[in-house]
Amino acid sequence: MRFVEEYRDANRARALAEQIAALCEPGRQYKFMEVCGGHTHTIYKHGLLDHLPESVTLVHGPGCPVCVIPMGRVDDAIAIARQPDVIMTSFGDMMRVPGGSGSFLDAKAAGADIRMVYSPLDALKIARQNPDRRVVFMGIGFETTAPSTAMTVLRAAAEGVRNFSVFCNHVTILPAIKAILDSPDLRLDGFLGPGHVSTVIGCRPYGFIARDYHRPVVVSGFEPLDVLQSVHMLLTQLAQGRCEVENQYTRVVPWNGNPRALEAINRTMELRPYFEWRGLGFISHSALRLREEYAAFDAERIFQIPGVRVADPKACQCGEVLKGVLKPWECKVFGTACTPETPIGTCMVSSEGACAAYYNFGRFTRRRTEEVTRA
């Protein structure tokens, strides 16, 4: 592991922390949102909050695709899975996400044929191997996974696989960021842009945040030093009175993203007029569905979908956590009724959810403990 030290060097972290502190205007508070659950994970795992001055707060964003799926969509998927000849396939992350009446795991225990797959291409293979069954893939994720679903649909079409379809729940990150910027609940000073989503969409689409909302954006890597450097870049922009989109993660993210991946999405999918996000409500043009040309692969056109709408459990405050209004530990049921073993809310289910990350890594750091005590 000769390379890793480069991104973890304690001396460099300390030097960066000093520079960050020096950039902060006395008396000014800075609130930056890390959009991606991967960043949330790094921040808690490595105790990065202890390297930042008191005046800099990092707020968790909605960038965990499992966390933002509303309960009703889980119920809809289970309704499809319960049809007699259906094999429902899903990424493992989705299996424990509670719907209004149980999770995929519960439905599987009750007899539904629900299988975990690593890739949508595995689901396509199951369809080929089971020509007398209807195989449905539960498509979830932001622009990181949407191209894979799109490519799988293209392949199914090319091969003429007739018993494969997608229950499309892919969401797009930009409308969610816009909804947060438009929300009166929270005043943010800048964004750490998501790393892996940006490998697909590139950096250009964040331009509206700088141009229309006058907030800086820095697309950030996932190493502890990446996150600190990105905070440094945000503060530098603010100190110089600039609001731009910058790319800290140039070693992975090309400025223009991955044109082939975008092309695959555009060929097979289009924006829905609106989609419900857990905690954020209905957001216009924030999710993808299959285009008419691929109707034969669209589970929503093939099956009767109940279209269930389920209000989140009263005790659960995932919505506030996803919008960054509440910290995980400020939720009423955090760590008591809601734990990774028995999650009530989605933020506790996914390893990238803010609550799970904080539960697993953050709870015992000194400064946080003080805050919990104060709260």
Residue 47 or 313: which CB sits closer to another protein?
47
DSSP-derived 3-state class of residue 166: strand
> Residue 140 interacts with another protein (CB under 8 A)?
yes
Stretch that binds another protein, among 26-34, 36-44, 285-293, 315-323 (CB under 8 A): 36-44
DSSP 244-299: -EEES-TTT--TT--HHHHHHHHHHEEE-SEEEETTTEEEET-BEEE-GGGGGGBH
Residue 168 vs residues 149, 293, 324: alpha-carbon distances, Å:
9, 15, 26
- Amino acid found at 89: T
> Residue 118 interacts with another protein (CB under 8 A)?
yes
> Residue 7 interacts with another protein (CB under 8 A)?
yes
> Residue 89 interacts with another protein (CB under 8 A)?
no
Give the rounded distance of the alpha carbon of 325 from its chain centre.
17
> Residue 91 interacts with another protein (CB under 8 A)?
yes
> Residue 363 interacts with another protein (CB under 8 A)?
no
Label the pairing between strands 274-277 and 281-284. antiparallel
Q: Interaction with another protein in 277-316: which residues (CB under 8 A)? A: none
Rounded-to-integer distance, Cα 86 and Cα 365, Å: 47
Choice from 223, 244, 300, 330 touching another protein (CB under 8 A): 223
End-to-end Cα distance, the chain: 41
Burial 222-249 (b: 16+ CB within 10 A, else e): bbbbbbbbbbbbbbbbbeeeebbbbbbb
Stretch that binds another protein, among 99-107, 192-200, 316-324, 367-375 (CB under 8 A): 192-200
> Residue 171 interacts with another protein (CB under 8 A)?
no
Residue 1 or 375: which CB sits closer to another protein?
1
Stretch that binds another protein, among 80-88, 172-180, 208-216, 248-256 (CB under 8 A): 248-256
Residue 153 or 235: which CB sits closer to another protein?
153
CB of 329 to another protein, least distance (A): 21
Question: 222 near 228, Cβ under 8 Å?
Answer: no
Query: Footprint of another protein on this chain (CB under 8 A)?
Result: 1-4, 6-8, 37-38, 41-42, 45, 64-66, 91-94, 116-122, 125, 140-142, 144-145, 147-148, 151, 196, 199-200, 222-223, 251-252, 254, 258-261, 264, 351-352, 360
